[in-house]
Amino acid sequence: MPIQPGDKIPSVTFTEMTESGPAPVSSDEFFADKKVALFSVPGAYTPTCSAKHLPGFVEKADELKAKGIDVIACTAVNDAFVMGAWGKANGVDGQITMLADGNGDFAKAIDLVMDGTKFGMGMRGQRYALIVNDGVVEQVHVEAPGEFRVSAAEYILEQL
């Protein structure tokens, strides 16, 4: 069953691109003692993800933080090099933490995997947004296949 409000974020290791190269990020540490808006995209550089999803969170970052979000993070089943380059290309500039879920461990652990094999993409994470407070999920917004509405920055702002 997919992750639900009240569930604790599972213990996994993401990877973040730093100036020194890829660095492990423990989900236990990342989500502790803060309110996080985490959104997932099926893939960096894909059309909706690049044209709407990530740019929406960049544009609305200050408004989200004004409503109590401490950290905004983006995850995808991509490697840290791709996530880092995509973040840089979209001007995240420290506003959004780019968390690579290269092997899909997080997507599997929260049961939000998408089968993109018919598009040559393999197994990916679904498009969704979570609000997580001190490691506990408060809100879950999973998109229906092919849709982009409930995981958008604008929609998340309305829910806060």
Residues with a known catalytic role: 49
Interatomic CA distance for residues 34 and 119, integer angstroms? 37
Interatomic CA distance for residues 63 and 57, integer angstroms? 10
Give the angle 18-10-150 at the CA atoms, nearest 5°: 80
The answer to whether 121 and 110 have CB atoms below 8 angstroms apart is no
The answer to whether 94 and 71 have CB atoms below 8 angstroms apart is no
CA atoms within 13 A on the CB side of 91: 8
Write phi, then psi, for 139 (nearest 5 degrees): -140, 145
